[in-house]
Amino acid sequence: MEKNMESAESLLKGQIPSAGTINESTKAALEDAVLSPRFYTTNFAEIDQVKIDLLRREWDVLMAEFAADKNADHFQRPADMDKDYSKINPELYDEFVDFLISSITSEFSGCILYAEIKRKVKNQDMKDLFGYMARDESRHAGFINQWLKDFNIGIDLGFLAKSKKYTYFKPKFIYYATYLSEKIGYARYITIFRELEKTPELRFHPIFLWFERWCNDEFRHGEAFALIMRANPKLLSGINKYWIRFFTLAVYATMYVRDHSRPQLYRAMNISPTDYDKKVLRITNEITKQVFPVMLNLDDPRFYIYLEQMLALFQKMDVYKKKGGLLAKVMVPLLGVRVGLVFVKTYFLPVISNELPADVRMAPSW
């Protein structure tokens, strides 16, 4: 992993002031809980073999969009916003900081993975794509860091890259998981942006002003994975349908639980985490029609009942974790098993099968 940090770091150079020493926020970003953003590594030789010939025309159009780089100068904190923006409602403070740290960790996690793929492959299509995406994610991470400074927080990304554990995912799992997280990222940002457009007085921090053009980057990243999968239909058939269901549910359920652990953040924007998540999942499900042959049925009333059950179990787990001691050592894994059982139950709910459209590309129209 030594080399890849250098190349991800060199991308970030000039964007991110290194904090030098490990601080509390870096520690928070290092936490390896089930729900916190992870760092990934994969089989680079296999990605080097990816062919997109089946969708060459669509691919070239997408690459031209990446090359046009419409957001080149978007992610700069403007000079007239150099005052301290950390003076926010104390009830909100911790959740907002937590939100920023988990966001910067995901952006940086994407940046490292994409930069590393670019460095390791020779296939020009993959080299171009992952180079563009690493460029975008480094900008996103750098931009969050520009605002974190107000909170006296500097995430030492170099240290983070060296110290965080890397999870190995086969390339196909990278495609499913990353496709979903790019698209759900789009849906999350655009939903917040649209809400705050209606109620600008609730915009308690300027970073939300950037969300619209920001999420167009994420949408485009998702388009690239959609093309990769559609150009390699094997990834979307047979046993892989079961993997797609698995990743979709894992991504959806993780978001549901994580968002409900930040009630103040959503209250401040006058949205309930439940309504917000339902909206985000509806948008994401709609988008996945471009590529996934199966979709979760969000209208099955059991779906949200089960998500609520998982949430309640996670909340119980948190209570025990905070208490610590012997009881926690027994109860936390037990509750973990129960979460697993509910997950399985949710997994086996009937799904909706989906006829793939002739035209893969979709526009970010929400």
Q: Which residues bind Fe ion (CB under 5 A)?
A: 107, 137, 140, 182, 218, 221
Question: Which CB, 218 or 259, lies closer to Fe ion?
Answer: 218
Q: Are 15 and 72 in contact (CB under 8 A)?
A: no
State the nearest-atom distance from the C-beta of 186 to Fe ion, in Å: 9
Question: Which CB, 137 or 156, lies closer to Fe ion?
Answer: 137
State the nearest-atom distance from the C-beta of 338 to Fe ion, in Å: 33
Q: Are 190 and 283 in contact (CB under 8 A)?
A: yes
Question: Which CB, 137 or 195, lies closer to Fe ion?
Answer: 137
State the nearest-atom distance from the C-beta of 139 to Fe ion, in Å: 8
The answer for residues whose C-beta is within 8 angstroms of residue 3's C-beta and 6 or more apart is 119
**Residues forming a β-bridge with 295:** 352
- Give phi and psi for 345, each to the nearest 5: -60, -45
What are the tokens at 93? 């403070």
State the nearest-atom distance from the C-beta of 43 to Fe ion, in Å: 21
State the nearest-atom distance from the C-beta of 125 to Fe ion, in Å: 18
State the nearest-atom distance from the C-beta of 218 to Fe ion, in Å: 4
Question: Which CB, 96 or 210, lies closer to Fe ion?
Answer: 210
Question: Which CB, 205 or 267, lies closer to Fe ion?
Answer: 205
- Give phi and psi for 353, each to the nearest 5: -90, 150
Report in angstroms the alpha-carbon separations of 158 from 20, 78, 135, 320.
9, 26, 17, 33
Nearest to 231 by CA among 72, 56, 109, 14: 56
Question: Which CB, 114 or 256, lies closer to Fe ion?
Answer: 114
C-alpha to C-alpha distance for 43 and 3, rounded to whole angstroms: 16
C-alpha to C-alpha distance for 285 and 187, rounded to whole angstroms: 10
Name residue 62's amino acid.
L
Paired sense of beta strands 166-168 and 39-41, if any: parallel
Question: Which CB, 182 or 195, lies closer to Fe ion?
Answer: 182
Q: Are 118 and 131 in contact (CB under 8 A)?
A: yes
Question: Which CB, 142 or 171, lies closer to Fe ion?
Answer: 142
State the nearest-atom distance from the C-beta of 102 to Fe ion, in Å: 13
State the nearest-atom distance from the C-beta of 327 to Fe ion, in Å: 40
State the nearest-atom distance from the C-beta of 107 to Fe ion, in Å: 5
Question: Which CB, 183 or 260, lies closer to Fe ion?
Answer: 183
Report in angstroms the alpha-carbon separations of 186 from 79, 101, 214, 280.
27, 18, 8, 9
C-alpha to C-alpha distance for 11 and 14, rounded to whole angstroms: 8
C-alpha to C-alpha distance for 252 and 244, rounded to whole angstroms: 12
Residue with tokens 């403070």: 93
